[in-house]
Amino acid sequence: MTQRGQIFISYARQDRGEALTLAQALADKGLSVWWDFELVPGQAFREAIASKIDTANTVIVLWSPSSINSGFVLDEAARAARQKKLVPLSILGVEPPLGFGQLHTLPVSSVAEDIDRILAAIEGLPTGPAPKTKRKTSRWYFRAAVAVAALVACAAAIYATIDQRKFDSAINCIKYGCALDYVTYRSKPMRLQFVYPMHQLMLDTTQEASRRLPLINAKGETEVEIFRSSLSGPYDVMQESANEQARLKAEGWSINYVAPQVKPEEKNWYIVSGMMPDGRHYYFRRWYTHNDLVSIEFRYRPESKTLYDKIIADMTLGGLQINDL
C-alpha cells in the first residue's frame, strides 16, 4: 500500500479548475497537496517543480486534451513515472499519451463522485468500476412515480452538485472584480477561509499541516504568507504590537503605518507596515483569538504597490474568515 504523504498534481493550465477541485477534495480528506503552479518559463521555477516532484510520495497527472500536448505536463509525468510514483487520471475521456499506456489510468467523470476511487488509486488499492446509472423501469404503473422522483432528485442534485469553485468565482467577481480571478480556499487544518488572486499568486499547501500557507509569485518568491500559531499565555494586543514595532526598528525596518488608531485597546488585531531594508514593502496584520494568533504577512516590491493596495484590502477586509473554536 502506498502512503499518501505529500501529493503533487500535474495539470495543464486549461484544466486549472479541475486541479483546484481535486486539490480541495484531497485536502478535505486530510492530505497535503502541492498543485498551484502557473507554468511559466524560468529556471528557478522549473527547479522548484522538480524538487516538489522528487519529494512527493505521489504525483497525480490529469490527462486531458490539453495536458497530453503539454511539454511541461509530459516532462513532469515522465519524471514521476521513472520514480514509480505516478497516478494517472483521465478527464474528459481522453486516452493517455504515447509512453504512458502501460500504466493503469483511472477514468474520472466527477472528482466529487470519484474521490474514493482516486484515494484507492493513490494507496495502490483496487479502484473498482466507475459508478453506473441504474436502468429505468418500463412498467407503466411506475412511470408517474419515477417521473416525480426524478424531478425531486434533479432539484436536489442541482443544489448538491453545484460546482463550488464556479460559485465562489462568481461571488468573488462581484465582490472584488474579475481581473485578478480571486479563488476561495478553505483550510480545515487551519480553520480558515480566505481569497487569493489566482493570476498573481500560487498557493503552496505543503506546510498546511503545520498551519502555514505561503503564496508564491511567478518568480518562485513568497509574497504572502498566512499562518496560525498557538498562544503560550495571557497577552495584551497593543503590547504585542509595540513589541513587534520595536523588533522591526531594531532590524532596520522602517514603519509608516500602525493600526488600529481608534480605541486600540478594544481591538483584537493590529497592523504594522512600512519598508524592509532590501527596499520591499511589508504589511503585517495579526488577529488574536481565544487560543491562538492568526497572521497574514505581505512582502512585495515597490513596482507592485498599486496592485497590492488592492490585494491587501481584498484579502484582509472580508476576504479572511477565522473559525475560533
What angle, 0 to 180 degrees and rounded to 10, lies between the N-to-C axes of helices 164-176 and 16-28?
110
Q: For the residues 244-272, what does the mean pLDDT come to?
A: 94
38's grid cell: 502557473
3 state DSSP class of 279: coil
Fold of the CATH domain 165-322:
Protein Transport Mog1p; Chain A (3.40.1000)
pLDDT of residue 293: 94
Task: Give the residue extent of every domain in the chain.
Answer: 6-122, 165-322
Q: How far lies 36's CA from each of 11, 241, 264, in Å?
A: 10, 33, 38
pLDDT digits (tens, 9 = 90+) for 289-325: 888 999 999 999 999 999 999 999 999 987 788 886 5
- Domain 6-122 carries which CATH code? 3.40.50.10140
pLDDT digits (tens, 9 = 90+) for 104-161: 899 998 887 889 899 988 888 876 665 554 443 344 444 555 565 666 555 555 444 4
pLDDT of residue 39: 44
3 state DSSP class of 256: strand
pTM exceeding the 0.85 threshold for the entire prediction = no
